Amino acid sequence: MSHNPIRPWRNIERRVSRQIRVGKVLVGGDAPISVQTMTNTLTTDVAATLEQIQRCAVAGADIVRVSTPDQESTFALREIVRESPVPIVADIHFHYKRAIEAAEAGAACLRINPGNIGDAKRVAEVVRAAKDHGCSIRIGVNAGSLERHLLEKYGEPCPDAMVESGLDHIKLLQDNDFHEYKISVKASDVFMAAAAYQQLALATDAPIHLGITEAGGLVSGTVKSAIGLGSLLWFGIGDTIRVSLSADPVEEVKVGFEILKSLGLRHRGVTIISCPSCARQGFDVIKTVSALEDRLAHITTSLSLSIIGCVVNGPGEALMTDIGFTGGGAGSGMVYLAGKQHHKLGNEGMVDHIVELVEKKAAEIEAAEIEAAGAEAALAV
């Protein structure tokens, strides 16, 4: 909400972590919390994989992970990396040689699962390849694939076992003088994942990749991820996130940004504040909001828009948004700009008019940001 001051009770103090690089994207430290997703195409279908990556990048994905289960996939990865608009993380399971091949293919990061990748000697070979080709590594601990000795020790997957697994593999990387790593401790159980991440955050200064693994479908998985990731982010834990949904990867990106936007941790695109609608509404709120979400999806500039059906809460919400529309009577409502009444607007054609206002405001914000950046650069010289 660009025209309002930041409230101190909104501030989130992020955990201090080291910073690493995933291609051109910085992760950890004071870098913005990055949003990731993962392709679900066959990696060997290069055209389909690149098309999906491109759609995810347009939606805002900072990093995209690609599975490399076999040699044919790591061979295809070379072209995918070359054509991708965002850094590519190679997802490795079971065979350490796939990690070496992915590094040679130009992957920006290698995701290895400690419970599956093999012994210390194999990890050392992966580290050597990562060093040679400038890759970072994500240690990806998963409750569903913990090492056998930890399951025997703890009796079942649990936060203690997950964190111990992660710390053991951090030591393996450090013993090989490798420090460009981040780590995740994922579980499909929200409580287990949250507890593991809280322990992990106290035990290491490594950047943390957040995720509730196998969260479910679009609605159930979104709710589950918002609870799990949101609670951790609220307490400053997390440097990069992936929302795991049984849905189009683009939806994962959208949900990831909505979680970050709701906590004020990233600002991208139009935030629409809208009422659920009731008998008081002066126009069809649900239909209008749906149309506006589609029509404004292309805007990346951060600004806020309130669409409220009646005057009970409409004027109050409009005070806190860049642009607002409040339903009235007789087929018209009131447009607010920067929290102030500006002009009346008929319900017919309101979507077109609001889109025009938002696009104009976005252009003004972009121009101001460019001018400010130019002034700052001039002062630096």
Closest CA to 321 of 347, 281, 357: 357
Are 80 and 46 spatial neighbours (Cβ–Cβ below 8 Å)?
yes
Q: Which long-range CB contacts under 8 A does 72-76 form with residues at least 24 apart? A: 72/44, 73/43, 73/44, 73/98, 74/98, 74/101, 74/102, 74/105, 75/101, 75/105, 76/43, 76/44, 76/45, 76/46, 76/49
C-alpha to C-alpha distance for 85 and 52, rounded to whole angstroms:
11
Contact 210, 241 (CB under 8 A): yes
Beta-carbon neighbour count of residue 346 at 10 Å? 12
135 labeled binding residue = no
Task: Decide: residue 111, CB within 10 A, 0-12 exposed, 13-18 middle, 19+ buried.
Answer: buried
Give every CB contact of residue 291 below 8 A, 6+ residues apart in sequence.
351
CA distance 33 to 261: 11
Q: Is 278 annotated as a binding residue?
A: yes
Distance CA 299, CA 355 (A): 10
Ligand-binding annotation for 56, yes or no, is: no
For residue 58 the two structure tokens come to: 């347009």
Q: Which helix (H) or strand (E) holds 12?
A: none
Cα-to-chain-centroid distance, residue 141: 19
A 10 A CB-CB count for 318 gives: 27
Phi, psi at 40, each rounded to 5°: -125, 15
Q: What is the dihedral of CA 112, 115, 120, 125, to 10 degrees?
A: -30
Q: 379 has which bridge partners? A: none
φ, ψ (nearest 5 deg) of residue 268: -150, 125
Whether residue 317 is annotated as binding a ligand: the answer is yes
Summarize the annotated binding site for [4Fe-4S] cluster as residue ranges. Answer: 275, 278, 310, 317
Summarize the annotated binding site as residue ranges. Answer: 275, 278, 310, 317
